[in-house]
Structures are given as C-alpha cells and as structure tokens.
Structure 1
Amino acid sequence: MTTSSSSAPALPGAFRRGLDEWAQSEGMTWAFIFKALLTAFIAQWLAYRLELPQANTVLATVFIVMQPESGQVLAKSFYRFLGTLLGLTVTVPLIALFAQERVLFLLCLALWIGVCTAGAARYRDFRGYGCVLAGYTAALIGLPAIAAPQGAFMQALWRVLEISLGILCSGLVSALILPQNSSTSLRRLLATRFRDFAGFASAALAGQLDGQRLEQLNARFAGEAVALDNLRNASAFEDPHFRLRSGRLGRLNHEFMVLSTRFHGLHQLLQRLQGEAGEQVRTALAPCLAGVGAVLAPLGQHLCREADAEVLALRLEGSQRELMQQIRAARRQLAAQQPSDEQLLDFNTAAEQLYRFTGDLHDYALTHASLRVHRHAREQWQDSFTPRANSLATAVTGMRSALLVLLLGGFWIATAWPSGETCVLTAAMVAGLVASAPSPRHQALKLLIGALGSALAGGLLQFWVLPWLDGFALLFCALAPVFAFGAWLLARSQTAGYGTGLLLWFCIVALPANLPAYDFQRLFNEYLAALLAIGLTTLSLALILPPDRPWLWRCLEHDLRMRVVFAVSGRLKGLGAGFESGTRDLLNQAQVSAVGRPEVQRRLQRWMFAVLEIGQAVIELRQEQARLPAEPCYGEGMPWQVAIRALGRALVRLFIQPDEGNRLRALAAVEQAIATVRQTPETRPPQFDSSPLRRVLSYLHFIRSSLLDPHSPLAAGSRWPVRLVD
C-alpha cells in the first residue's frame, strides 16, 4: 500500500514531462500542419468568395510562404511582396515596349529572370527569395501577355491582389494561432553556441581537445554565425523586444566571431611552441591559461542567459587584472631562466593574445548582458553582417536560368504548344527556388518527385472524387489530405523539397477554379509541361557547370584567399566586421557545396583558418597604426612603417599566388619589419598596455608564426591534389 501511494503522484509529473517533450518535437510538426490547413481553408474560401480569377495563385503563395516559425513567415512575406512589386514594375514597361515583338520581349524577360536568379544565388536568405519572386512575377504576368498584351495590366493587378491575399492569410494565422517564434530559436542558439564554445575553449586550454574536434566546432560556428543573422532579421519582424535589440544582436554575433578567431589564433600559437624552448614558454604560461580556463569551465556546463552574462562580465573585470599580474609574474619566472629573444617574443605574443582573448570575452559578456534592458548604449552598432558570394558562380547561375527560359520560350513560340506558358513559368520558378539551395541539382530532383506525386494526386481527385462533391466544405475535405501530407513533408528539412514540389504544382495545375472544368487533355498537358520543365532544369544543373564540382571549390578557395587582400587594402572603417562575416559566409558555402567530400571541406577549412589568423592580425596592426600618438618615432616615414607597408604588399602577392617563392618573400618581409621595430627607440615604457611598438611587434610575430606553420596550406601552395578533383 505504501509503494502504491508513493508512486501515484509521480504519474502526472511523468505524463507532463512526456507531454512537454512531445510538444517540443512532434507537437510542433502537428501544430504546423494544423496552421497550414487553416490558412489554406481561409485563403481558398476568400479566393472563391471574392471570385478571384486564379485561386491557385493564392494557395501557391500560402504554401511558399508557410514556415514553422512566425518570424520567418513575416520576413518571407515581406520580401515576397517587395519582389512581386518589383517584378510588376519591370514587366509592365516591357509589355508596353515589346507588345508586338514576342522574340524581343522573351529575350528581355529571360535576361531579367537570369538577373533575379543570380540575385537569389548571391544573397541566399529572405532577400534572395525576394529576387526569386521578382523574376517569377515577371514571368507570371509577362508570359500570358505574349498572346494577349491588351489584358496585361489587369492581369498584373489581379496577380498582385492574389499574392497579397495569400501573404495576409499566412501572416495572420502564423502570428495569431499557436505561434512558434523565431525569437525563441534565436535565444536557444545564442545560449547553446556560447555554452559549447566555453566548453571546448576550457578543454583546449587544458590540452584536452584534439585538432579534428576543434576544426569541426569552428566549422559549425561559421554556419551558426550565418544562421543567427538570418534569425535576427526574422525576429525583428515578429517581436518588438528583439527589434529594439537588433543592433546589439548584430554586435553580439560579430563579437563572437572575433572571439572564436582570437581563440583559434591563440590555440594555434600554443600548438606551434614545440621542443624544449617551446616547452619552457608553455610551462611559464600554464598558470595564466589555467586561470582563464577556470573562468570558462563552469559556463560550458549550462546554457548562458543574460543574467549569467552579467555575472561573467563582473567576474572578468577582476580576473583581467589578476591575469595581468600573472603574466608579469610568469615573465619574471621565464626571465630567470635566461631565455632567448625568440622565446621571449613567443611568450609575449602568446600572453598578449590571451589577454586580448579575455578582453574580447568581456566585450561579448557586456553585450549579451545588455539584452536585459530595452535601451542600451551598446545598441549603437553601425556595422552589419556582410555575406559574400563568388561572382562567377552567381553569373553562371543567372546565365543558366536565362538560357533555359529562352530555349523553352523559343520552343513554345515556334510550336504554339498550348501548355508552353506553364513550361516556361515552371522553369523560371524552379531555377529561382533552387538557386540558393545547398545542392541545387538534388533540390530540383526533389521538386520533380514532388511534382510527379502531385500529378498522381491531382488526376485522382480531378476525375474520381471532385465531380461527385457539392459545396466548399466537401471540396476542402477532399483536398485536405493532400495539403496535410504536403505540410508534413514541409515541416522536415530533409523532405521539404518533396513537399514544395507536391503542394506548388498541385495548387498551380490541379486546384479547381471557381467554376471547375474537368478536362483530362488540359490536365495532362499542364503536368507534362511542368514535369518537362523541372526535368530539363535538373538536367541543366547536372550538365552546365554544375555547382558542386571542383571549379566552384577552386573559386571559393580563391575568394577565401582574397579576404587577406581585403584586410590589407580595404577601407579601415567597418573592415573588421566585413572581414569576419564575409570569410565565414564563404566557408559556410564551401562546406555546403562539398557535402560528401570531407577532404575538400578540410582543405577549404584550413584555408579559412590561415586567412582568419593572418587577416585579423593585419587588421589589428592597421588599427594600431591608425591610432598612433603624434610622436616622431611613430611617423609615417619611419623605417618600421615602410617595412610594414612592404610586408602588406608581400602578403597580397602570397595570397593571390600562394607558392613557396612568395611565402619566402613574405617571411623575409616580416623578418625585416620585426628587425626594424626592434631597432626603433621608443620613449614609452616597454609594457603591452603602454607601448604601441610592443603591440606592433606581437602582431608581426604572430604573422610570422602563421607563415612558418608546417601544417598551414601556405606551406603546400595552391595546387589541388588530383584525388580532390577527380
């Protein structure tokens, strides 16, 4: 009896925990399906009630815009509406200019779709989706105008109204019914990212982290930096709390990128301290490293919230003073062993990197803690995340889609195929939808399979189910299983492509109009046109410079190397933020384009590490030069200033053409710069916090150690091994 009475209260608690777990996993999927069905019901009823010419455009808009999180829906809807207006603005003048010249009109339309598809490949976020819609809307309005230009203006207005209705229904249902906020995902990402960083940093400082794990985490952090910026933009649409903190969130993302780059540079510098001389330096630094690791270790055990960040910031203020004292004590201990000049320079550089790391950590903690209040001085952040894309890959994407639209459009005009308009429109839509996908060819293949499924479902409903029904309620009950299954596919990232193909072409081709007409020949031709267009688009992605092949990997590697050229010669204002964000965005693209090729991913990742190490040191060296005091020893014409400018030119040559000759010339240039800095007399005390030349010397030594690293890709040059390109 006692056992029974004691276990009875545990059942409701276990049930609640199980229910919470279900709500956070499968429950979210079912909530999304319910909202998709409700949105489709409202949008379709309104489209029929208002007697819109094409209810299928309304439903297609609903399923394109629908996302699991309301912030993503609102952001996507906003850019879809802007893209629609832009496409309308471009198409109407084209129709007016080339109403009687179908070939010229088709040529201009193909060029515009190519430009829009290139824009989608360039941005790869909600802005890219706006580019997709600008091209798709132009095709949606312009293609019917080839046969009937006199009705083009009214068709354009109807399309805008239909798209606006779909956007309105999606936004309202997503925001009001069982909302799943992007801000929640943003908070979770911030907390888990810093927890994982603190855990791996404390383990690395204690020498308990292998190099492969370090590379994996750094690659993950690069992808999360891109994801967090997208979440920040989406959260600003749905949550005024995060809209007021948008500047701080952008600043926090940048400070984390700087923090992770700094730690990677510190870790690599410590790894390069080999032999007996290096062991003496590491032994002297051990208490300093242990102190910083002790601060980070507890943070790796739990999620870090704003209150935890405030406590961390207060603790770091005291620990930074203690760290400076520990560094000076360690330097005295090392000096007692009569170290060489190189050992002393190694110690100073590593100690200053460690001290800067704690400073970066303190800045990050202050910004994170500032999220607790609505208004804060740290909101004044002018820099932004700057994505980068390879210009050649972007141009190839646009050229491929323009060529496909032009060829299919020419075939349509030459043969007068009744469904040629659908074929060209589908090709334009698919080219835009897959432009920013990790693997465009595989995504197009998923769309093809989904569209084939929609053809089977559409034929079954059109001729065996819908003719027997009467009234909107029964109609929607018949359509609901298709909508629910498609929404279930959309809710999972692995199957979202199949869901998009199923729902889009079911709505575009098989959805009955307000006055339905059951025409087998029309349905067959429309689906044949759609499937042919998707198949040809997939084939073009496989044959015309496919985007997951060695030519793109070489281009991305070149772009990564050119980030150092940007660090040397770019405008100093906003240089740090642009360098960090652009480099990580390029790595994220490289990781995605080389999925299944770990050796390629590893090579590109090593290039990113080399670029980040040297690029950050160059930028901080330039910033140090920009704030030098007005004293004779810091003048522009001083030999050490001339030597640093020569080093910049040598680094530019090295990263444009990384071979052994250029690496040796860069090493000679940095050695010359170090020698001239050492020979320059300075009136200030020779401490890190008071001597600019002391800090300059540390930056130069760090660049030299990176150039000397035998594991750096600079040591192997730029030639790709044959096994990576086969």
Structure 2
Amino acid sequence: MNQPANTTAAAAPRPSFGAQLRDAASDWWQNERPTWIYVFKMVFAGLLALGIGYALDLESPRSALITVFIVMQPQSGMILAKSFYRVIGTLVGSVAIIVFVGLFAQTPELFLIASALWIGLCTVGSAHNRNFRSYGFVLSGYTVALIGLPAALNPGITFDSVMTRGTEITVGIVCAGLVSALVFPQASAPGLVRIIRGRFTAFVDLIGATLGGTTDRKQLDIANARFVGDIIGLEALRSSAIFEDPEIRLRSGRLTRMNSEFMALSTRVHALHQLMNRLHANPAPSAQIIIDAISPYFKEVQPLLTRESGEPVMSAVDAADAALKLETYKRELPRRVRATRNTLQLDSDAAMLDFDTASELLYRVIEELHAYTLTYASLNQRRHEREQWEHAYAFKTSMTTALIAGARAAITLLLLSAFWLASGWPSGDVAALNAAAFCAITSAAPDPARATRTVAIGVVFAAIAGYIYTFHLLPRTDGYWMLAAMLMPALMLAVWLTTKPKWAGYGLGICIFFPFLAVPDNFAHFNAAGYLNESIALLVSLIVTAVSFMLLLPPTTDWTVRVLEKQLRKQVVDACFGKLGHLALKFESGTRDLMHQITMLTSSRPALRQNAFGWTFATLEVGHAIIELRTELNGIRTERPDLLSAEAYAALNRLRETIPALFSTPNRDTFADALAANDHAIAQVQQTIGPHYRERSERHRLQRTLSYLHFIRTALLDQQSPLHTMRDGAANTTHSGARHAT
C-alpha cells in the first residue's frame, strides 16, 4: 500500500502567535513606518503653519496650511527645491498683478484678457520645462488668478493683498522646510546612491547578457525604457539634493557627467546589439565567420566589471579597480582586433565592413564604459578633476503641445470669466481662478482629464467633510488647540491617501480644498449659502477643466503621440545640421526625454508605444552615427583636407541632405534617395582607401568613416525598424547589397 508523501516527513512547526506578531511588526516597521512618519510630519508642519498664521493675525492662515500640502515631498531636498521655485513664481506673479491692476483696474474685461494671456504664457513655460522649474511657471500664472481677480474688484487693496499672500506662503514654506529637515529628516542623497548603484549593476548585467547573445530586442527595449526613467529620475533627484546636501553640490558636475556618459554608453551597446542581430539574421556564411571572430571579445567584458569574489561591481571603490582593468583592455583591444582581422578569409568587401563596423562599435563601447566607470569611481572623492563638466541635461519638449496647453488654460479662464461677468455669480471668481490653476498644474500629467476627475472626487469629499466641520464642529471649538485636534484626523487621512498612487488624486483634492473650505479665517464667517457657492464653484471649475482636456486637443490622443514622433525624427535633422560643440549630449538627452514623454502617454496602448519605440531607436542609431561621421569629417577637413577626394566630399554632402529628408518625410522615395546616397558615399570612401599603402592614422580615419557609413546603411535596412516598411522589397536589398559590395 502506497504511503502519502507527507507521512514520511516531519510536519513543519507552526509559528507561535508571538512570532507571527513580531514578523508583522517587523514588516510594518520596514514598509509602513516611513509612510506614517511622513504623514505625521506633514500634518504637524501644516498645523504649525496654521498656528503661526493665527498668531501673526494674518488675514487667511489657511493659505499657509495649504502651502505646506502643496510643497510637501518625501525628501527635504525636494521640499526646498519646490519651495524655492514657489517663492520665485509668487514674486513674478505678484509683479504681474501690480502691472495688470495698474493698467486695467477700470476695465475688468481687459484685465481678464490680460490675465488669461499671462496664464496661458505661464502654462506654455510650465509645459516646456521639467521638475520644479515647471512648478515655478505654474505659480507665476496661478498667483495672478488667485490674488489678481479679487484685487481687480477692489484695486485699493492690491498691495496689501500681495504682501499678505507672500507672508502666508512664506510661513507655509518655512514650516514645511524646518519640519522636514529637523523631524526624522529623509535626505535625497541615499536615493541618489541607490539609483547610481542599481543602475550600474543592472547595466553591467545587461552588457553581459547583450554581448553574450542572451538578450532579445524586446528585452533590450524594456531595459532601455527603464534606463530612461532612471536617467530622468537621477537628474530630478540631483537638482533637488543640491539644495540640502553640500556633498551633493560638490559632486553635482560628476552626477550630470555620469548621466551623459550613461546615455552615450547605452546607445553604443544598443547599436552593437542591433548590428549583431542583423548578422545573425544574415544567412551568408561570411556572417557566421564574423560572429565567431568577434564574439570571444564580448565574453571578455563582463569579467572586467566583476570583483575578485565573483560579485558585480557596485560601490565607487570597486569601480576604481574596474576602471584600471578597462583601461588596460582598451589599450590592447585595437592590436588584438587587427590580428584577428588579418586571419579572416571573407568573400567580399561588404563582409569585411561588417567586421570593421562591429569591432569599431565594440571599441566605442569599451571607451564609453571606461569613462563612465571612471566618473563613478571619482564619486568616492570630495573633489576631482572630472567634476569639470558644464554640459547640462537638455530637456526636449514639443512647442506645439506646449502652446496647445497654454491656449487651453487661457480659453478655459476666459470662458469661466465670461460666465462669471454675465451671470453675476458671487463665486465665479473662485471657479475661474481654480480652473486656470488646474489647467496649468495637470497639463504635464499623462492623462490630465483623468487626473482632474480624481481631484474632483476628492473635492466632493472635502465639501461634505468641510460642511460638517464648519457648521457642526467648528462652533463647538474654543481656541487653536481644539481646532488643531479637530482637523488632525481629516488631514492625516488626506495626506495618507497621497502616498498611495491609486488614490493620490483623491488625497490631493482633500489636502488642498478641505482646508480651503473648512479652516476659518481670522474673522470667521458662518455663511451656508456662501459655503455652498464656493463648493459648487470648485467642483464646476474642475469639471470644466476635465471637459477642456477632453475636447480641446486632448494630450492622450494619437495625434499628440504623432507630434512627439515627428519631434523625435527631427532630432536626426538637428544631428545633421546642428553645431558640433555639444551636439552629441543635446541629441542624446533630447531623444530620451521625448522617449520618456511618449512612454508616459502610451502606457495603456502597447501597439502605439511599440511603433514609437521603433522610431526612437532608429533615431538614436542613425543620429548618433551621423554626429560621429560629422565629427570625423570635421577633423579630416581641419587637419588633412586632401585625404578625401572632391567626389567623396560631394557624396557625403549628398548623404547629409537625403537623411534629413527621409526623417522629415519618411516614404519610399526619400528612403530610396537616402539609401542610394549612402551606398554612393561608401563607394567613394572605399575608392579613396584603395589597395595602396597609407599611414596607419590615415587608414584608421578612413576606416572609421567607412564604418559609420556602413552602420547607417545597416540601420536603414533593419527589418525591425519602421523604415523597413518603406523599402520596395527584397529585390531592393539584394541590389543595394551588390552595389555596396562593389
């Protein structure tokens, strides 16, 4: 008779109740404790600002409380950065208010038109910038709406309103900054360290898998999309951490440099991977010979990035040892590759070009990896020569989408203002200013209509809770301490909701609008009709904002993605004609910034995202090769202009004309022209090299030029690229290949 398997094994002892309780407490301590510390800190800072506002006899202390919730961030550096730009935005907006009130106080219609134009302009600036600088533009416009509309109704109090508003904001900012920095401070620097170490380790693994041939294109695309998020995240953390940590300020240049070197390195690795994929897809025997010849070099890279214990390099100290090994490997690689090349027996010049291009890309990967590792290792020192780096990350935003966002905010404000003036609605100014503010604030969200709807639901809860507090609980309170105790549960719930991505919009709506409705001014007014009017105005403003996002050229439409794709392809045009000074960095960061925007917009549309990713990688491959080709030719023209013939220069200039035409207007005709121009340029450079003797430096320059041209050709003929659909068929490939070989 068969015995059950579990009868032969001893039953696992069940944990005691105390052990389970300890495990649960440990899990809470690790995962939930930071969240609740953040909740208590923000509520404490908000109530402190509120108390100071009452003590200073400010007109509306709730503005100080709301300011705390607006600038709240997990790290103190982020709070300081956001507060800095909030102050700047408020000051600029205050100046605009004084100007507008002075010019148009007697004509409300002109004042509203000027305010709408100003808010639209600020929204354009917000959409065109990133991080908290964008927030500064939002505040410049929002301040005009918040203070300017009431001031226009009573010009005599304009200066007092501006000063009071500035004081209330300052109180909120100071309280948020002090509490964040002094009470269980959470610095940004550890987050930077985690991103840097995690990215370095992940990229080492990716290099090993990519060069080892175990990563397919889909996995590489996913990894590159993740790295784009890391690049932008590190830049955001760096720009915030410099406000709080002098050590970060000392290393700010190196952190920016690391981002630049990482972008260049990831582009090289992707290009090499794609070239090897094309060789694997090539059925010709020469392709396998090339793969067998170059693959052993790939397997030598990952051990250079591994410690003696077998673990991957993580810390800056370990990176210093890896940099020494990479330097030795880089120095010996050209000689070894030349020796391998001399042993190859290939049947065509095209096959030899494949090997030369692959070996050139491999050398560039090692060169960029060595530079990246050196910069990482330098972070272990407070001061280092690699800190001298002035090339900032260049954000890239479509001016078309930014202008649409600005026009949307201006039109929304004008429509609600016109309704306010025509209807005489007492709370129409609240609806108008709030709609304009949220048009600007949510314009950068992936789905602004949805974000506004979630905030509107939060406003409904805030209005209901605020009514109960204002008319049932507040009359029973006596003094600030009872008011603070009464407000604390609702505020804690609201802040806690903002820590949950799924409910953050609801929490934001409650955080901002519950204090606006429920917290009394220094001179409290109990007016049920006024309360209902303001609640309805807030809700109507958000509904109108959501409708405007759905009707006025919604950012979530395919059209917006196509605009970004066009902007992405224009990067190749800039690569062909831009100034070479800092062109590579601008191209790399701009392309990845556009890629990040497309990723955010297409999160729920995988087919659209896949097509956009195809254009992203085609742009990176061709654009980067064009920049390197131009850099090489610039050196040749400067030092040895007679190295290339007039016919070769003419062919290269023709290529520089046809590639931008292809990416500006991709179709069969422009593709055929670009491919023909590329083949002609290859033939001219090959003819220049010839079979006769040349000095090694001259031959290397010409070989590099030829490698860049050949890589552009393989990128154009890539079957996984969107450009593949513009080819006339397999016959065209064969014909071009034959012509190329000649």
Shorter-chain TM-score bucket reads over 0.9
Displacement after TM superposition at 1:330 (Å): 2.3
Give the residue type in structure 2 aligned to 1:308: D
Question: Partner of 2:154 in structure 1?
Answer: 148
Deviations 1:690-716 (A, max 9, x none): 721111111111101111112211122
Residue in structure 2 matching 1:415, options 389, 413, 423: 423
Question: Partner of 2:261 in structure 1?
Answer: 255
Question: Partner of 2:338 in structure 1?
Answer: 328
The within-5 A match list for 1:602-617 is 602-617=610-625
Tell me the distance in 1 between the aligned counterparts of 2:159 and 2:612.
Answer: 50
Residue in structure 1 matching 2:39, options 28, 33, 40: 33
Displacement after TM superposition at 1:498 (Å): 1.5
Question: Partner of 1:294 in structure 2?
Answer: 303
Q: Percent identity between the aligned chains?
A: 41
**Secondary structure class of the residue paired with 2:379:** helix
Residue in structure 2 matching 1:221, options 222, 227, 230: 227
Inter-CA distance 688–437: structure 2 relative to 1 (3 Å threshold): farther
Displacement after TM superposition at 1:684 (Å): 8.2
Inter-CA distance 292–120: structure 2 relative to 1 (3 Å threshold): same
Tell me the distance in 2 between the aligned counterparts of 1:302 and 1:511.
Answer: 55
Give the residue type in structure 1 aligned to 2:135: Y
Tell me the distance in 1 between the aligned counterparts of 2:28 and 2:187.
Answer: 18
Tell me the distance in 2 between the aligned counterparts of 1:606 and 1:633.
Answer: 37
Question: Partner of 2:530 in structure 1?
Answer: 522
Inter-CA distance 278–396: structure 2 relative to 1 (3 Å threshold): same
The within-5 A match list for 1:89-238 is 89-238=95-244
Give the residue type in structure 2 aligned to 1:156: V
The within-5 A match list for 1:370-389 is 370-389=378-397
| Runs of 4+ residues deviating >6 angstroms | 11-20, 297-300
Question: Partner of 2:723 in structure 1?
Answer: 714
**Secondary structure class of the residue paired with 1:512:** coil
Tell me the distance in 1 between the aligned counterparts of 2:380 and 2:453.
Answer: 46
Inter-CA distance 688–72: structure 2 relative to 1 (3 Å threshold): farther
The within-5 A match list for 1:49-128 is 49-128=55-134
Tell me the distance in 2 between the aligned counterparts of 1:640 and 1:328.
Answer: 26
Tell me the distance in 2 between the aligned counterparts of 1:456 and 1:143.
Answer: 27
Question: Partner of 1:575 in structure 2?
Answer: 583
Displacement after TM superposition at 1:516 (Å): 2.2
Question: Partner of 2:327 in structure 1?
Answer: 317
Question: Partner of 2:670 in structure 1?
Answer: 662
Give the residue type in structure 1 aligned to 2:448: P
Give the residue type in structure 1 aligned to 2:296: P
Displacement after TM superposition at 1:194 (Å): 1.7
Inter-CA distance 13–82: structure 2 relative to 1 (3 Å threshold): farther
User: Do the aligned partners of 1:567 and 1:619 also contact (CA within 8 Å) in 2?
Assistant: yes
Tell me the distance in 2 between the aligned counterparts of 1:371 and 1:25.
Answer: 30
User: Do the aligned partners of 1:29 and 1:491 also contact (CA within 8 Å) in 2?
Assistant: yes
**Secondary structure class of the residue paired with 2:523:** coil
Displacement after TM superposition at 1:664 (Å): 1.4
Is residue 544 from structure 1 mapped to residue 549 from structure 2 by the alignment? Answer: no
Residue in structure 2 matching 1:534, options 503, 527, 542: 542
Is residue 506 from structure 1 mapped to residue 514 from structure 2 by the alignment? Answer: yes
Question: Partner of 1:282 in structure 2?
Answer: 291
Is residue 696 from structure 1 mapped to residue 705 from structure 2 by the alignment? Answer: yes
User: Do the aligned partners of 2:127 and 2:444 also contact (CA within 8 Å) in 1?
Assistant: yes
User: Do the aligned partners of 1:223 and 1:585 also contact (CA within 8 Å) in 2?
Assistant: no
Is residue 460 from structure 1 mapped to residue 468 from structure 2 by the alignment? Answer: yes
Is residue 555 from structure 1 mapped to residue 555 from structure 2 by the alignment? Answer: no
Give the residue type in structure 2 aligned to 1:439: D
Question: Partner of 1:433 in structure 2?
Answer: 441
Inter-CA distance 660–497: structure 2 relative to 1 (3 Å threshold): same
- When structure 1 is superposed on structure 2, of 25-34 and 636-645 the one drifting more is 636-645
Deviations 1:253-280 (A, max 9, x none): 0100000000000000011112122111
Displacement after TM superposition at 1:146 (Å): 2.3
Residue in structure 1 matching 2:315, options 292, 300, 305: 305
Displacement after TM superposition at 1:638 (Å): 3.1
Tell me the distance in 1 between the aligned counterparts of 2:488 and 2:578.
Answer: 56
- So what's the TM-score if we normalise by structure 2? 0.92
Tell me the distance in 2 between the aligned counterparts of 1:473 and 1:131.
Answer: 36
User: Do the aligned partners of 2:307 and 2:313 also contact (CA within 8 Å) in 1?
Assistant: no
User: Do the aligned partners of 2:47 and 2:65 also contact (CA within 8 Å) in 1?
Assistant: no
Query: Aligned-residue CA RMSD in angstroms?
Result: 2.4
Give the residue type in structure 2 aligned to 1:475: L
**Secondary structure class of the residue paired with 2:243:** helix
User: Do the aligned partners of 1:654 and 1:663 also contact (CA within 8 Å) in 2?
Assistant: yes
**Secondary structure class of the residue paired with 1:29:** helix
Q: Mind listing any 5+ residue stretches in structure 1 that lack a counterpart?
A: 1-6, 719-726
**Secondary structure class of the residue paired with 1:626:** helix
Tell me the distance in 2 between the aligned counterparts of 1:154 and 1:480.
Answer: 31
Question: Partner of 1:472 in structure 2?
Answer: 480
Tell me the distance in 1 between the aligned counterparts of 2:190 and 2:520.
Answer: 39
User: Do the aligned partners of 2:313 and 2:319 also contact (CA within 8 Å) in 1?
Assistant: no
Question: Partner of 1:366 in structure 2?
Answer: 374
Give the residue type in structure 1 aligned to 2:248: F
Tell me the distance in 2 between the aligned counterparts of 1:338 and 1:525.
Answer: 83
Inter-CA distance 490–631: structure 2 relative to 1 (3 Å threshold): closer
Give the residue type in structure 2 aligned to 1:639: E
- So what's the TM-score if we normalise by structure 1? 0.94
Deviations 1:56-104 (A, max 9, x none): 2111111000111111101100000100011011111110001101000
**Secondary structure class of the residue paired with 1:272:** helix
Displacement after TM superposition at 1:293 (Å): 3.5
User: Do the aligned partners of 2:307 and 2:318 also contact (CA within 8 Å) in 1?
Assistant: no
Give the residue type in structure 2 aligned to 1:331: R
Tell me the distance in 2 between the aligned counterparts of 1:375 and 1:18.
Answer: 45
Tell me the distance in 2 between the aligned counterparts of 1:471 and 1:634.
Answer: 88
Question: Partner of 1:445 in structure 2?
Answer: 453
Aligned residues: 708
User: Do the aligned partners of 1:454 and 1:506 also contact (CA within 8 Å) in 2?
Assistant: yes
**Secondary structure class of the residue paired with 1:516:** coil
